[in-house]
Amino acid sequence: MNSQSKFSRRTALGALATATGSLFLRSLATGIPSSVLLDPLSAHAGTEPTAKTLILASSISGDPMNANVPGTYDFPANEVFHPAAPSMAKTSLTLSGKTFSAAKPWADLGQGILDRTTFFHHATYTPVHGELGLVQKMMRATEKDDMLISLISRELAPLLKTVQSDPLSLGASGGELLSAEGRILGNVSPLSVQRALGGPEGPLKDLTALRDQQIDEIYALYREHGTPSQLKLLDSWTRSRKEVRSIGLSLVERLAAIDGNDQVNQLRCAAVLAAMNIAPVITVHLGFGGDSHGDTDFEQETEDTVITLNDVHTFIDELDQLKADGHLKQDVIFATLNTFGRTLKKNGTDGRDHNEGHHVMLMIGNGIQGGVVGGIEPTANGSDYQATTINSTTGEKGGDISFEESLAAAGKTLAFALGVPQARVDAMIDGGKVVQSVIA
Q: What is the CATH number of the domain that holds 59?
A: 3.40.720
Q: Are 353 and 334 in contact (CB under 8 A)?
A: no
pLDDT at residue 112, rounded to an integer:
97
pLDDT at residue 48, rounded to an integer:
54
Interior/surface letters 268-281, b for 16+ CB within 10 angstroms, e for the rest: bbbbbbbbbbbbbb
pLDDT at residue 3, rounded to an integer:
40
Q: Are 283 and 56 in contact (CB under 8 A)?
A: yes
Output the average pLDDT for the chain.
90
Q: Does residue 181 sit in the same domain as residue 305?
A: yes
Distance CA 350, CA 348 (A): 6
Phi-psi group of 266: left, alpha or beta (phi > 0 → left; psi -120 to 50 → alpha; rest → beta): alpha
End-to-end CA distance of the chain: 42
Q: Exposed/middle/buried for 421, CB within 10 Å: 0-12, 13-18, 19+?
A: exposed
pLDDT at residue 18, rounded to an integer:
43
pLDDT at residue 78, rounded to an integer:
84
Q: For the chain, how many residues are written?
A: 440
Among 247-251, 258-262, 374-378, 424-428, name the one with the lowest average pLDDT.
Answer: 247-251
User: What does DSSP say about strands 371-373 and 117-122: parallel, antiparallel, or unpaired?
Assistant: parallel
Distance CA 74, CA 93 (A): 14
Q: Are 169 and 375 in contact (CB under 8 A)?
A: no
Distance CA 385, CA 344 (A): 6
Query: Where residue 46 falls among pLDDT bands split at 50, 70, 90?
Result: low
Q: If you average pLDDT over residues 124-150, what whole number do you get?
A: 96
Distance CA 46, CA 7 (A): 38
pLDDT digits (tens, 9 = 90+) for 295-323: 999 999 999 999 999 999 999 999 999 99
Q: Does residue 237 sit in the same domain as residue 269?
A: no
Among 63-72, 111-120, 348-357, 431-440, name the one with the lowest average pLDDT.
Answer: 348-357
Q: Does residue 381 sit in the same domain as residue 280?
A: yes
Domain that holds residue 135: 51-189+261-438
| Ordered alpha helix ranges (H), 21-147 | 23-30, 34-38, 104-107, 111-114, 132-136
Q: Does residue 299 sit in the same domain as residue 433?
A: yes
Q: Are 332 and 52 in contact (CB under 8 A)?
A: yes
Query: Where residue 239 falls among pLDDT bands split at 50, 70, 90?
Result: confident
Q: Does residue 399 sit in the same domain as residue 292?
A: yes
Query: Where residue 129 falls among pLDDT bands split at 50, 70, 90?
Result: very high
Pick from 419, 363, 391, 435: which is nearest to 114 by CA?
A: 363
Q: Does residue 283 sit in the same domain as residue 334?
A: yes
Among 24-28, 91-95, 253-257, name the one with the lowest average pLDDT.
Answer: 24-28
Could you tell me where the beta strands, DSSP code E, fall in 323-426? 332-336, 341-342, 354-355, 359-365, 371-373, 376-378, 385-387
**Cα dihedral 65, 71, 73, 78 sign:** negative
Distance CA 180, CA 354 (A): 27
Pick from 331, 325, 163: which is nearest to 244 by CA?
A: 325
Domain boundary among 211, 232, 259: 259
Q: Does residue 271 sit in the same domain as residue 294?
A: yes
Q: Does residue 83 sit in the same domain as residue 9?
A: no
Distance CA 94, CA 110 (A): 10
In the chain, the percentage of residues whose pLDDT exceeds 90 is 65
Among 19-23, 48-52, 145-149, 204-208, name the one with the lowest average pLDDT.
Answer: 19-23
Domain boundary among 222, 243, 259: 259
Which of helix, strand or coil describes residue 34? helix
Q: pLDDT higher for 6 or 400?
A: 400
Interior/surface letters 197-231, b for 16+ CB within 10 angstroms, e for the rest: bbeeebbbebbeebbeebbeebbeebeeebeeebe
Query: Where residue 11 falls among pLDDT bands split at 50, 70, 90?
Result: very low
Domain boundary among 213, 228, 259: 259
Q: Does residue 265 sit in the same domain as residue 130?
A: yes
Q: Does residue 235 sit in the same domain as residue 354?
A: no
Number of domains in the chain: 2
Q: If you average pLDDT over residues 239-265, what whole number do you get?
A: 87
Q: Does residue 29 sit in the same domain as residue 119?
A: no
Pick from 60, 56, 61: which is nearest to 414 by CA?
A: 56
Pick from 214, 272, 209, 203: which is nearest to 238 by CA?
A: 214
Q: pLDDT higher for 173 or 305?
A: 305
